[in-house]
Structure 1
């Protein structure tokens, strides 16, 4: 356009040719303005699309996070580390919240569940010590939890070994444990036996000095452990007593002992 304008001013080209160049120039200017406008509109549209895509992506991530949480809620997680030794569940089975699924054994240690006579419930507490004899060796245990509910005249406590657990001990094994309910004292002891079922511990048959007869004498028994009753009165050290069942002769005041 500038060249044609100079040539026209110098009378080198005619008016028609100059007008044609001028019209083409103006057309290209408008075309450029229109192109710039379209590009700006496209840029704005692209910016909006990018923003919408980012929002859509964030929404998808949030939905994915919710789905992952729901899937995670379906995974059963144990409260402690250990070895799964039993599983009470089948494929397709429905379980309610809090329902027992199985059992996990803590392989780092052992817990001992102990049945205790309800007579001692007021004297048993967390931290109380006990002793068990395993393979001719004594092991110390300590009460860690007390279950105060009484069933069939007994309540339960949980105990743990104070030091290392005995080697070779197995889950479900039965132990005899002696609880230290009081300080050690000197006491007269009487072996446990079937006599208690008939007398309730109120009397026993005591042998005479020559061992040929046994007489009914009143006694008072106190504390007890798995093997012995404490004798409060009625017997002296060295007395011999019939501890077997009295079922067949509860009404007899004297027994004749025959070998």
Structure 2
């Protein structure tokens, strides 16, 4: 018996069909993996994150910067006389008073100039004494001439008085009496000239004395100047404080006005803070500041805001108004916190890592029993040093994770374990 053979038609798989099957398999795999990842919620230990609770109340905006204490009263001791440094008697860090000798200079030329000025002063004083004696003699001669003229005039007047009645009786001739009267007028004129000459001579004497005395004063001033310059070769502090710096070495030549040392008052300090430029726009003068010296706190006020920006920072001068803690000294590193603003009745949290003021962020917000956290969009407001204002997205009492959670950015929720 013949059995019929049934021929099966072979199915042919085309390349386009293979490509479609491959793409479909990949889509199924992606959908499966995504669903699997959603189910696999990551777990975080509560001790490994920083949890902050939303608070409502007064929000204090603060700006913080680092800096140093500097003297508010500094004096540079400059050389009043040129000279060579012979000795340095005090080292930086020593406490000095007004009369503490810091260094000694020498200048042989000044000593020589002083000696020359002393000799010239002695000569001028001697010339003054000689001139005074000479002028005094001339004055006495003038007084003698005036006296003689007065006596001659009196004699002529007496003679005229005696001859007048005789001339009236023709006992004395008219010519002789006229000569007597003429002699009286002559003596009177001579006396007037002598008096004018005496006054003129007195003016000349006074002028000569003034000139010679001025010459004496000139040499006295020169002597005093050189003596002052020689005394200035001994450099004193002229202020009570701490010697901070010596700017010269032994043997060095110093010109007039050259800085030799710097002295600061240790009881008169201020703080210089470096504040980031993006935090300075709200600062104003007289804002309260708290300075931390690592050994205590002291209050202060903002007194100057430098208009320049250097290396991304702005220099702020702070006047210290409180009692300085022990150990406070110039160049001591400090931290300053400036109170910028007090915002009443607002929500705020500890400042999350990497957040900026007036921005939007996403934070994991914990559930009521704090075993689960869900990613939530948060609107932030003004920022402070360690806290930031919350505008929207949170309520009073909510707990959020403020530590760095960037590794969980792909997850909308995480599980919290104790």
TM-score of the aligned structures, taking structure 1 as reference length: 0.59
Aligned to 2:365: 207
CA contact (8 A) 2:286 2:303 kept: yes
Cα distance change, pair 46–195 in 1 and its aligned pair in 2 (3 A): closer
CA contact (8 A) 1:114 1:158 kept: yes
Residue 47 (str. 1) matches residue 170 (str. 2): no
Cα deviation digits, residues 210-233 of structure 1 (max 9, x gap): 434433333233333322222222
Residue 90 (str. 1) matches residue 249 (str. 2): yes
Distance 2:233 2:272 in 1: 32
Cα distance change, pair 256–181 in 1 and its aligned pair in 2 (3 A): same
Residue 164 (str. 1) matches residue 248 (str. 2): no
Larger radius of gyration: 2
CA contact (8 A) 1:205 1:214 kept: no
Distance 1:219 1:173 in 2: 41
Classify the secondary structure of the residue corresponding to 2:345.
coil
RMSD: 4.6
Residue 194 (str. 1) matches residue 278 (str. 2): no
Aligned to 1:111: 270
Deviates more, 1:236-245 or 1:46-55: 46-55
Residue 143 (str. 1) matches residue 227 (str. 2): no
TM-score of the aligned structures, taking structure 2 as reference length: 0.40
Shift of 1:46: 4.5
CA contact (8 A) 1:195 1:243 kept: no
Residue of 367, 378, 385 corresponding to 1:226: 385
Cα distance change, pair 78–251 in 1 and its aligned pair in 2 (3 A): farther
Distance 1:70 1:242 in 2: 73
Cα deviation digits, residues 118-146 of structure 1 (max 9, x gap): 33434323322223567897643112222
Task: Give the aligned length.
Answer: 216
CA contact (8 A) 1:109 1:165 kept: no
Cα distance change, pair 136–171 in 1 and its aligned pair in 2 (3 A): closer
Shift of 1:93: 5.8
> Could you say which structure has the greater relative contact order, defined with CA pairs below 8 angstroms and 6 or more residues apart?
2
Shift of 1:111: 0.9
Q: Which has the higher helix share?
A: 2
Residue 179 (str. 1) matches residue 338 (str. 2): yes
Distance 1:242 1:100 in 2: 58
CA contact (8 A) 1:148 1:155 kept: yes
Cα distance change, pair 67–140 in 1 and its aligned pair in 2 (3 A): same
CA contact (8 A) 1:195 1:244 kept: no
Residue 126 (str. 1) matches residue 300 (str. 2): no
Residue 239 (str. 1) matches residue 398 (str. 2): yes
Distance 1:75 1:184 in 2: 60
Aligned to 1:20: none
